Structure 1
Amino acid sequence: MRTDMARRLGAELVGTALLVLFGAGSVVATLTVGKGELTYPGLGFISLAFAIVVALVIYVFGPVSGAHINPAVTIALAVTRRFPWVEVVPYVVAQLAGAVIGGLLVVATFGTHAVDLGLGATSLGNGVPYWQGMVAEALGTFLLLLAVMGLAVDARAPLGWAGLMIGLAVALEILLIGPQTGGSVNPARTFGPYLTLSMFGGDVAWSQFGVYVVGPLVGGIVAVLLYDLLAPTRPVQRPAMEDSYSPGDPGSAMSAPPETSVGPAEAG
């Protein structure tokens, strides 16, 4: 069991590192090409980069750890007993550590020039008040967790679509709230670049970090509770050979570790 837990935590660490490297890293790349300016079309390509890396991580690591790669996802699933509370802290620690590694890899890729460009760190847009940033992050995470519930947890979901559609949900929320907050919807995605910037002496908006913690947690929890109210899920025992990427409740790997599942290991 310890070996299995280590494997799952490793998957969360690597998955979150990839998210920050290719997600936040795409912000640095866009600013590099745009000579420090970020246009809305540029934001579109950033959202696409996030969508692709999220989808890939879900398809690769979903059967291992559930590919939460986001403390808001882990905690929201725990609130509805789809993930054991005793494993929440280890998962979140692995996600935060992976995000920092991802930030360091961005620096390794672009050099300290990436620090000068902000390392893809999220911050409130000009004139956006703290409370409005929280609302934006809550709404973006609400959309993300609805996608998780409907496509990776619910047994009625079409098989094989979870990774793609969850990735597209991330892209969609960035297109809407990106100008307001950067579209983080993930405390780890914000924490990694923040801490890395601090290591290299960059400017860090730590005072805004609460936006990227409170907003995603509230939005994620509201989404899973509302989904259970409007479209309650049910556990389903699927044939072992049907599809290793078949969503289930609570047997989904997005929801619970393999050893506690009622069905085959599944992704999300």
Structure 2
Amino acid sequence: KSVVQAAAPHIAEFVGTFVLVFAVGCCWLSPSDPAWSSTAVACVYMVMVYATTPVSGGNLNPAVSLALGLVGSLPWTVVLGYWAMQLAGGVVAGMCSCALFNPRKVHLQPVAPFAWEFAAGAELLYTCLLCLSVLCCRVPKRNNPPDDANQFYGLAIGFALAAGGYAPGGGA
């Protein structure tokens, strides 16, 4: 493998995570209607999963990389490399979206009448749903052979993300 071929999956994870987190930042920092933010983020995630899957697997989320490592679909050395790229992509995207919308500030907090414990519970539940969607739709070889792979996995993952955005009241 050349250096470019070896680096391509990590660069794909960085770019995909950057685009996703930048979209999240733009949706929440812009003065637009927040009712569409969860749908917009889910659509961006779906597109980035389809765009990066041939290169890196399209994880774009440390929890997804962890889940794939736990089931043995991804070597732990790759999981650690992806985590580094996902973290870097997220931090750079956050800085870029904050710089773009400076000095606008958003106070992220649970929607009344919910407290932080409910928000954390919803985040945990929907992160598990996201990981389960990936593990059920993209990983199994019996129902998803390499020569005839399904093409709905990105849509299923995007819907899981949209549900996670709207259910706790974050999108409305």
Decide whether the 8 Å contact of 1:57 with 1:67 is kept in 2.
yes
Matched, 1:117 2:106: yes
Cα distance in 1, alignment partners of residues 92 and 48 from structure 2: 16
Partner residue, 2:86: 95
Cα distance in 1, alignment partners of residues 169 and 71 from structure 2: 29
The residue identity in structure 1 corresponding to 2:26 is G
Task: Indicate the structure (1 or 2) with the bigger Cα radius of gyration.
Answer: 1
**Percent of aligned pairs sharing the same letter:** 32
Question: What TM-score do you get using the length of structure 1 for normalisation?
Answer: 0.56
Deviation string, structure 1 residues 174-224 (Cα, Å, up to 9, x no partner)? 111244xx8xxxxxxxxxxxxxxxxxxxxxxxxxxxxxxxxxxxxxxxxxx
Cα distance in 2, alignment partners of residues 152 and 24 from structure 1: 27
Deviation string, structure 1 residues 84-130 (Cα, Å, up to 9, x no partner)? 011222111100110111112213432x133x235xxx544455143
Cα distance in 2, alignment partners of residues 73 and 170 from structure 1: 12
> Pairwise CA RMSD of aligned residues?
2.1
Unaligned runs of 5+ in 1: 35-41, 183-268
Cα distance in 2, alignment partners of residues 178 and 3 from structure 1: 43
**Matched residue pairs, number?**
164
Partner residue, 1:10: 11
The residue identity in structure 1 corresponding to 2:115 is V
The residue identity in structure 2 corresponding to 1:145 is C
Deviation string, structure 1 residues 22-42 (Cα, Å, up to 9, x no partner)? 12211112xx146xxxxxxx3
Cα distance in 1, alignment partners of residues 80 and 167 from structure 2: 31
Matched, 1:149 2:150: no
SS of 2:138's equivalent in the other structure is: helix
The residue identity in structure 2 corresponding to 1:98 is G
Partner residue, 1:65: 56
C-alpha displacement at 1:165, in angstroms?
1.9
Deviation string, structure 1 residues 39-77 (Cα, Å, up to 9, x no partner)? xxx33x011111111111011111000111110000111
Matched, 1:22 2:12: no
Structure with the largest fraction of helix:
2
Decide whether the 8 Å contact of 1:140 with 1:177 is kept in 2.
no
Question: What TM-score do you get using the length of structure 2 for normalisation?
Answer: 0.84
Cα distance in 2, alignment partners of residues 87 and 66 from structure 1: 11
Partner residue, 1:199: none
- For residue 115 of structure 2, the aligned residue among 119, 128, 149 is 128
* Structural mapping, 1:1-268, within 5 Å: 1=1, 2-29=3-30, 32-33=31-32, 42-43=34-35, 45-110=36-101, 112-114=102-104, 116-118=105-107, 122-126=108-112, 127-130=114-117, 132-155=118-141, 156-157=143-144, 159-179=150-170
